[in-house]
Amino acid sequence: MRRCFFWSLSVALFAVIFAATCQAAEWKPKKLEIIIPHEVGSTSDATTRLIGKYWTKYMPGVQLIYINKGQAGGRLGYDQFARSKRDGTVIMSCNIQTAAILYAQQKPDWKWEEVIYPINVYDMDPAIIQVRMDSPYKTLEELIEAAKKSPLNAGLSRWATTDTLVLYQLMDYTGAKFEVIPLGSGSKSRAGLLGGHVDLNVRRASDMKISAGQIRPLAICLPTNPIPHVVGDIPTVTSVVKKPIVSAGSYRAFVTHPEVKKNYPERFQVLYDTLSKVKKDPGFIEEAQKLGFELMDDMAPEELIEMSEELFPVFEKYADVYKKNQ
């Protein structure tokens, strides 16, 4: 009798485990809504839709519904995501660092840790300190020394970015003086540099591909230089100033809600695994490279969370800068 009982219990446990395993492997929503806090036709929109084109290959039969909410600097998209269903059927494609700055700056009525949970990153575009190729400044050290003697004009795409933090930390740490000028967009910032309207930019590494031979990168705004094939063997800003400079750039990722990871771990795993497969798909890689993607290896959600949350105390230190220039 005792032996039969344990045999029955073992069979029952096996059945439960088997069912859970099947559920993890087979979960496939009829539709997956993807909120994009950017306008149709933007870079983020184009990259998201390219991924979606291949994502359906690994989740066959799933209908992807794109919801563009680019108004109010993307705030409407984040607010809609905060109110959306939390069962894995609604996700968001966003720049993790931009989202963190927007949250810290605008202080919405939802909490970051209760709304944002990264699935995986798919594109990286680090910030670099850059000058024109004919600039007299060949190194970041030379630029800093010149800016100590007389203010230099420093271009940005816009205020609400981590690039702003880099410039203000540089001024605090080194005594350099910059006249910080937001030029309105990435293309306008690049044109401002090439046209000689600013002495330097803090902008994306992708500018190197777009303006080949016209821009000299001086230093990268990350703890290490992961893209020497794009920007050359340049140092990190932190290694030059000997102080911790905030990591800056674009880390485009898909995010879900914390409840999905907690209550539907099998669904979260399907999203993570299938996105990982997309990034390794030869067809996707070929198309992504034509769009200028700098594809990233998989990153653990916890690593992405830590990267974004480290921005909050730095932002608070320079909050007045953002408030004055909203």
Token readout for 323 is 């408030």
Of the pLDDT bands very low, low, confident and very high (cuts 50, 70, 90), residue 41 is confident
Looking at per-residue confidence, does 159 or 168 come out higher?
168
Per-domain residue ranges of the chain: 27-124+250-317, 128-248
pLDDT digits (tens, 9 = 90+) for 284-295: 999 988 876 666
Give yes or no for residue 215 having a pLDDT over 50. yes
* Secondary-structure class of domain 27-124+250-317 per CATH: alpha beta
Place of tokens 């994009």: 36
pLDDT at 294: 65
Beta bridge partners of 265: none
Strand partners, 318: none
Percent of the chain with pLDDT over 90: 58
Confidence of residue 298 (pLDDT cuts 50, 70, 90): confident
Mean pLDDT of the chain: 87
pLDDT at 321 over 70: yes
Examine the pLDDT at 11 and tell me if it is beyond 90.
no
pLDDT at 85: 96
Nearest to 319 by CA among 158, 143, 165, 190: 165
* Dihedral sign of CA atoms 292, 294, 299, 304 in order: negative
Please tell me the predicted confidence (pLDDT) of residue 241: 96
pLDDT at 323 over 90: no
- Answer yes or no: are the C-beta atoms of 115 and 205 closer than 8 Å: no
pLDDT classification of 23: cutoffs 50, 70, 90? very low
> Is the pTM above the cut of 0.85?
no
E-strand spans in the chain? 31-36, 63-68, 90-95, 117-132, 152-156, 178-182, 200-204, 215-220, 249-256
pLDDT digits (tens, 9 = 90+) for 43-92: 789 989 999 999 999 999 999 999 999 877 788 999 999 999 999 999 99
CA dist., res. 220 & res. 233, Å (int): 10
Alpha-carbon distance 74 to 197, whole Å? 29
CA distances for 134 relative to 137, 177, 202, 272, angstroms:
9, 21, 17, 45
Instruction: For 182-195, write each residue's pLDDT tens digit.
Output: 998 888 898 999 99
> Token pair for residue 60?
């066959």
**Closest by CA position to 45, among listed 98, 93, 84, 7:** 93
3-state secondary structure of 167: helix
- Report the b/e string of 122-133 with b at 16+ CB within 10 A: bbbbbbbbbbbe
Closest by Cα among 197, 152, 198 to 177: 152
Mark residue 229 as left, alpha or beta (left: phi above 0; alpha: psi -120 to 50; beta: remaining).
alpha
State the amino acid at position 145 in one-letter form: E
Q: Identify any residues that bridge with 140 across adjacent strands, giving them in sequence order.
A: none
Ranking 17-21, 120-124, 132-136 by mean pLDDT, the lowest is 17-21
* DSSP helix/strand/coil, 201: strand
- In CATH terms, are 27-124+250-317 and 128-248 the same topology? yes
Asked if the model's pLDDT at residue 306 lies above 90, the reply is no
| Per-residue pLDDT tens digits for 111-122 | 999 999 999 988
The region of weakest confidence among 23-27, 32-36, 164-168, 233-237 is 23-27
Count of residues in the chain:
326
The pLDDT value given to residue 326: 62
pLDDT in tens, 232-255: 999 999 999 999 999 888 888 999
Q: State the sign of the Cα–Cα–Cα–Cα dihedral 296, 301, 303, 308.
A: positive
For residue 13, pLDDT beyond 50:
no
Q: Look at the domain 128-248 and name its fold.
A: D-Maltodextrin-Binding Protein; domain 2 (3.40.190)
Average pLDDT over residues 300-310: 85
Q: How confident is the model at residue 213 (pLDDT cuts 50, 70, 90)?
A: confident
CA distance 3 to 8: 9
| pLDDT value for 293 | 67
Nearest-angstrom CA–CA distance, 128 and 143: 14
